[in-house]
Amino acid sequence: MRNKAGFSLIELMITVMFLVIVASVSIPYITPVLRARDVDMAVRTVVWEMGRARQLSVDRRRDIRVTLATPRSITTAQRVSAAWTQVSQVELPGDMEFRIEQGVSKGPPKTPSSDYGILDPINLCDQHLVYFLPDGSAIEGSGQICSGVVYLARANELETSRAVTLFGSTGKMKRWRYVEGLWESP
């Protein structure tokens, strides 16, 4: 008689049931991690796109325009002669949006920088536009230095509130997160 190698149907069913149990127990722990990853990725996306636009401006010696469009789009364009040519367009990851969640304090002491108040989720000089110059600085459409704040959050989830501040004279950015009524820099 020959010995056949393999698994019996009972062994296979026990293995599958074990995997189902492990998966069902781990899903409640994995879901918050994945949602938190989307929050962090949204902030990184804003900083990355604006930082990339700034660097393109310096490298190409051209004006670069960044347009932040609610609820979740970022478009980068460069000036070629008198026209603007799109360089890239990205969307915020997951269900993150440019938004201010109810409960975020509206007074200067609790905003990411006391220089800026909360007026709009995209609180830049020209509201939704910023221009980076070849020297790395950021300006508004009229040529004035542009500093401001961009707020991000997931709808109805105060704990996902994040912000990015732009310091126009240098073009540098800083990330913020909203924790228990205060803005903290991670």
Q: What are phi and psi of 115, to 5 degrees?
A: -80, -15
Residue 171 belongs to what domain range? Answer: 9-184
Write out pLDDT tens, residues 13-39. Answer: 999 999 999 988 888 777 777 777 788
CA dihedral 97, 98, 103, 104 (to 10 degrees): 140
Q: Within 10 A of 122 (CB to CB), how many other CB atoms are there?
A: 23
What is the number of structural domains in the chain?
1
Write out pLDDT tens, residues 88-113. Answer: 999 998 888 888 776 665 543 355 55
Reported as half-sphere exposure (CB side, CA atoms, 13 A), residue 100 has a value of 15
Write out pLDDT tens, residues 46-75. Answer: 999 999 999 999 999 999 999 998 888 999
Nearest partner of 162 among 51, 74, 42, 33, judged by Cα? 42
93 contacts 38 by C-beta, under 8 angstroms: yes
2 found inside a domain: no
Domain of 64, CATH number, reads: 3.55.40.10
Write out pLDDT tens, residues 128-177. Answer: 889 999 999 999 888 899 888 888 888 888 888 888 889 889 999 999 88
113 found inside a domain: yes
Mean pLDDT score of the chain: 83
3 found inside a domain: no
84 found inside a domain: yes
Residues facing residue 67 across a β-bridge: 75, 129
Which pLDDT belongs to residue 107? 41
156 found inside a domain: yes
